[in-house]
Every structure is written in structure tokens, then in C-alpha cells.
Amino acid sequence: METKFTFAKTIIREAGQFIRSAMAEKLKIEEKTQFDDLVTNLDKAAQDLLIAKIKSAYPKDNVMAEENGVRHPITDGHVWILDPIDGTVNFIVQGENFAVMIAYYEDGVGRFGLIYDVIKDVLYAGGGQFDVYANDKKMLPYQDKPFNRSLISANSSMFAENVHGIRDLARQTLGVRIYGGAGISMSQVMSGRLLAYFSFIQPWDYAAAFIMGEKLGYQLLTLDGQTPDFKNRQMIMFVPKQKLKAIKQFIK
């Protein structure tokens, strides 16, 4: 497992380096399901690069990935879950605040996760048998703070429409921050800068944080408190375990 984890840290930084070099060129942008659901040539190229490296090193392993319908189920064998550029809108508009994400599962059991903030050059990696690090710094487990000394983050529509009581919870806190991109947002939760994150996302958006968060005292659940299905887009929350009961007073 040590070897695979080291391999994952190497290829995620290579993918990040590829994106940083290539983003100076003009992007080719396409709409997927609607005008604000975008993909670029670099999302696809970075995914192809990651898959090629995985298939070359581990020919029998399988892949679930965001682009091009690569959808091997996580419960079946050795599965790498890839999000080549998480936060594509930020990538296109801001040129920052996006991440490459990798998670590795064996027969549905999470072994390690990685979130690489490409422009800040911070790699969050660990989970399973591995401690979680932000680059060379070991990350601390959740340190308890009251709601009135905390900030939360949420999908903007879910916040505005108070879906499942998200805005009711926000009112107990110092407010809401919206950064765009699940990976960046959940790395901020694990860093202690946000108490919790609420969104409507896909398996490749949460697979890495699911594993890493577990190690740091966080839980990734659907908004009705279940384990997500790793198949469909679902409403999820990423919250400190020791705050779950207090959060459930508002999130219903």
C-alpha cells in the first residue's frame, strides 16, 4: 500500500504540473449538461494522463473518473477514483482555486485520498493507514469550536433556498463562505478554516475527502445521514463527527 500511495503522490503532482504548464495556452471550453457545467481540453488531457500512468503501473486496476463516462464501481476490486480538475469554473475564470483529486479503494474500502491545490501547490494526502499531511505538515484532527466561532460553506443555491436547513445552521455561525469546487472547500474544512461543507456532488468530488476526513474526525454523509452511494450525484455534508448531533438539530 505504501508503494501505491507514493505512486499516487507522484502522479497527482505530475498532473498538476501538466495543468500549470498547459493553462498558459488558450483553453478549449465545452458545455456539458448546461451553460455553467463546463469542461476544458485540459480536464480531459489531465484525466488521460492519470489513467495512462495508472494502467501502465497497475494494469489490473480499474478507474472511475469524471470525464468521458469512465465508471468502474468502487465495490469491485482495486479502483482509482479521479477528478482531473475539480472546480473547473474557477479554473476557467480565475486560474486558481481548483484541485486534482485521487482516491483509491479496494473492494469498496477507502485506502487513501489526495487533494492537490494546483496553484497554491499544496498536496493534502493520507487516510486509511496513513496520517494526513498538507505537504510536509501533519494535519491535526478537528479541534472543537462553538458555532459562533465557526464558518460554514455550501452550494450557493442550497444555501439561498435553505435546503435541509442549511441557512438555519449558517445563522448559528459567523456565516457562509463559497469558494466553488468541492476539493478546495473540503480541504478548508480539514484545515479547520470551515466547520462544514454542504453540496450536491458526484463520487469523484467526495471520494478523496471521504477517506482523509475519516482519519481527521470528519464524516461525509448524505443530508439525511446515510453513507453516500458512490454512484449518483447526491446532497452531502462533510462535518466533524463530534458536531454531528448539534448540526442535525438544524440539518433535517
C-alpha–C-alpha distance, residues 132 and 104, integer Å: 14
Q: Draw the binding track, 77-116, toward a copy of itself (x: CB under 8 A; -: no contact).
A: ------------xx-xxxxx--------------------
Supply the DSSP symbol for 72: -
Q: Examine residue 213 and tell whether it contacts a copy of itself (CB under 8 A).
A: no
C-alpha–C-alpha distance, residues 203 and 17, integer Å: 24
**How far is residue 179 from each of residues 91, 97, 113, 120, 143, measured CA to CA in Å?**
12, 8, 21, 14, 22
Pull the grid cell for residue 47. 484525466
Q: Examine residue 36 and tell whether it contacts a copy of itself (CB under 8 A).
A: yes
Per CB under 8 A, the segment of 16-24, 35-43, 127-135, 212-220 that binds a copy of itself is 35-43
Q: Examine residue 137 and tell whether it contacts a copy of itself (CB under 8 A).
A: no
Least distance from a copy of itself to the Cβ atom of residue 94, Å: 4
**CA-wise closest residue to 238 among 100, 113, 84, 134:** 113
C-alpha–C-alpha distance, residues 4 and 102, integer Å: 12
Whether residue 66 is annotated as binding a ligand: the answer is yes
C-alpha–C-alpha distance, residues 252 and 247, integer Å: 9
Contacts (CB under 8 A) with a copy of itself, residues 215-244: none
- The residue from 40, 62, 150, 202 that contacts a copy of itself (CB under 8 A) is 150
Q: Examine residue 175 and tell whether it contacts a copy of itself (CB under 8 A).
A: yes
C-alpha–C-alpha distance, residues 203 and 240, integer Å: 20
Binding-site members for Mg(2+) are 66, 83, 85-86, 205
Binding-site members are 66, 83, 85-86, 205
The residues of the shown chain that bind a copy of itself, judged by CB under 8 A, are 35-36, 38, 89-90, 92-96, 148-151, 156, 159-160, 167, 170, 174-180, 193
